[in-house]
Amino acid sequence: MGGALGLQEGAPLVAVDVEVRPPSPSAAVASAGGGRVLEEAGRRVAPPLPERARLFARDAVQRPYVHYAYFHRPLKHALEEILGVPPPRLLIDTDRHGCVVGLPYAFTGGDKQREAVARAVTAILGDSSLKPEWRTSGRRPEVAFTRPCPPPRLVTLATIAAHGTAKATIRQHIEAAKWHQIVWGVTGHDRLVITSIDTDSPHTGLSMKSGGGKTVTARSMLAQMLYHGALGVVLDYKLFSHNWILRNERGEYDPLPNCAYAKTPAQMHTLLLWLEAETRRRNEVADAAADIDGNVHADVGPPLFILYEEMNAAQRKLAKYWQKELREPGDPARSPAADASDELLFVGRQVRVFLVAIGQRLSVKALSGAGVGGDARDNLGTYAMYDPGMAAWRIHGWEHPLPGAASHVGRLQIVTASSVTETQSTYMTGVEARRLALAGTIAEPLDDMPYVGKRAAVPHVPSHSGARAIEGPEQGDVPGTAAFPGPARPPGLTLAAALAAGLCGSANKEQVRRQLRRDSRAPAPAGKDGNALTYDRDELYEYAVHMKWLVP
């Protein structure tokens, strides 16, 4: 027989491609085209096979039988139904922790087709954690599925993470970052997560349910920006969310010199009007120094980084404050502070004004107090979310699939139009945040900036008379103590008293009231005497001189 094939006696046989047909690895080997099957020295040899049969035989021999029969072959058939042709390549890890699916050259893949491919892979391989990465450019389009490595359970300033080829602590990465970069935390494989408020998106949204880490995340963001020379602005409806700004490590009242802090509706109203006026000033400076391409060649001032805590609840309080305290007949129904907050969302990197909107769900109503619809919300280009539900994900998740819930505090989804990154956010204590904010470039606040530094708002402590009114007049004095002094005098002067004392010069009461309400540089109300607002005597006098109502 050897002579018939032209082989010399005793010559060794040369291995050639053999077609092995699963499902049985012990099945007899047969030729693909009906060719003869030859035996030599107890071995079976087949003539050369067609290319497709040769590749089929190679795949079947190289893979374990169970892996091929239960995963590779079913997935190949399922993908052929979806793509219309067999996938050019299909590589599955033996532990099924990864998979690469070759795509046809003409694959364009709409959302439904991509979802069908991902659903087939995760269902047949039995691993719903596999994440697709679509690589459709070039001559060999493909989609790679990998099992993500979860982020660490806790990230602090001392945690070591990699960015590019450099490995360093989070504190060192923050110090090395550019002024517009925000270090969010660490994702899988100890990789750093960084976004830019200059190149990515000037405005950010923190949309998390209660207890998800909104305040801690905002603390980290603001401390980083203060370190890089920004001016901070905090609109805190909850009153004490960021006490590290107002108190030092010993608990003493010692506000940071580069951050304004407003708590009450009156203070937030004043500060928002100031921000509107400052934004208008910066736009005028930028307009005067812009070139033919719109590039600004002027220093409009240090970056303004604004934290707007509980924006949905604060908008309601501002509207109520306007309606009940400030609005006069003939005034618009909308609060000018709501108009100001909307305007902040429509400016950005060129005038260096950056807003962080914080709320449990940043709906259109929560973001836009002036009722401009979804236009304001569309200006938020980056979202940080904690275990989002389907309703919130439809609002902020663009077209990305809903990620699974981690149920771990600080485990955020950093969402942009192009990606979703699971991240363990950086945890800073109040002491660490304050030290970081004071360790870098400390910006000098503008002269007319309210509630900043030593001018920051001091929490109002209820008076003795207020406590007595709550307890009820029938409770007598305790024997051996001083008698109750009676109602405390409200701080400041009413406008009527100020006019009677000649503090407003030639201006009448209606003129003063309107100017105080509309000018962001006007003194804020110090309290109330019945239904009338009161103002600090010295501040009112200085403002009257500034407005030239009064000649000193």
Report pLDDT digits (tens) over 312-321.
Answer: 888 888 989 9
Mean of pLDDT values over 295-306: 90
Closest CA to 344 of 368, 309, 313, 320: 368
Q: What digits encode the pLDDT tens for the residues 149-162? A: 889 999 999 999 99
Q: What are residue 231's DSSP bridge partners?
A: 304
Closest CA to 262 of 236, 238, 241: 236
Higher confidence at residue 356 or residue 290? 356
Mean of pLDDT values over 470-477: 36
477 — pLDDT class (breaks 50, 70, 90): very low
Asked if residue 195 has pLDDT above 90, the reply is yes
Rounded distance between C-alpha atoms, residue 192 and residue 188, angstroms: 9
Which structure tokens are listed for 155? 């990230």
Q: What digits encode the pLDDT tens for the residues 384-417? A: 999 888 888 888 777 787 777 788 889 999 998 8
Mean of the per-residue pLDDT values of the chain? 79
φ, ψ for residue 413 (rounded to 5)? -105, 115
Identify the pLDDT of residue 63.
54
- Measured CA angle at 249 (ends 243, 255), to 5 deg: 50
Q: What digits encode the pLDDT tens for the residues 204-254? A: 999 888 888 899 999 999 999 999 999 999 999 888 899 999 999 999 999
Rounded distance between C-alpha atoms, residue 420 and residue 381, angstroms: 12
State percent of the chain over pLDDT 70: 79
Identify the pLDDT of residue 95.
72
Identify the pLDDT of residue 481.
39
Closest CA to 278 of 229, 340, 227: 340
User: What's 160-289+298-455's CATH class?
Assistant: alpha beta
Which structure tokens are listed for 535? 């103002």
Identify the pLDDT of residue 70.
84
Ordered by start, the domain boundaries in the chain are: 1-61, 63-146, 160-289+298-455, 489-552
3-state helix, strand, coil in the chain (%, to 5): 35, 20, 45
Mean of pLDDT values over 444-452: 89
Identify the pLDDT of residue 62.
54
Which structure tokens are listed for 516? 């105080």
Cα–Cα distances (Å) from 75 to 71, 123, 142, 448, in that order, read 6, 9, 15, 67
Higher confidence at residue 43 or residue 280? 280
CB distance 263 to 236 below 8 Å: yes
Q: Where are the beta strands (DSSP E) in 76-159?
A: 90-92, 98-102, 131-135, 142-146
Mean of pLDDT values over 265-291: 91
490 — pLDDT class (breaks 50, 70, 90): low
Cα–Cα distances (Å) from 453 to 305, 432, 442, 464, in that order, read 16, 19, 12, 28
Asked if residue 463 has pLDDT above 90, the reply is no
Q: Could you give the 3-state DSSP secondary structure of residue 13?
A: coil
Rounded distance between C-alpha atoms, residue 71 and residue 289, angstroms: 64
50 — pLDDT class (breaks 50, 70, 90): low
Residue 261: half-sphere exposure toward Cβ, Cα within 13 Å:
25
Rounded distance between C-alpha atoms, residue 323 and residue 326, angstroms: 6
Mean of pLDDT values over 296-314: 90
Rounded distance between C-alpha atoms, residue 522 and residue 336, angstroms: 15
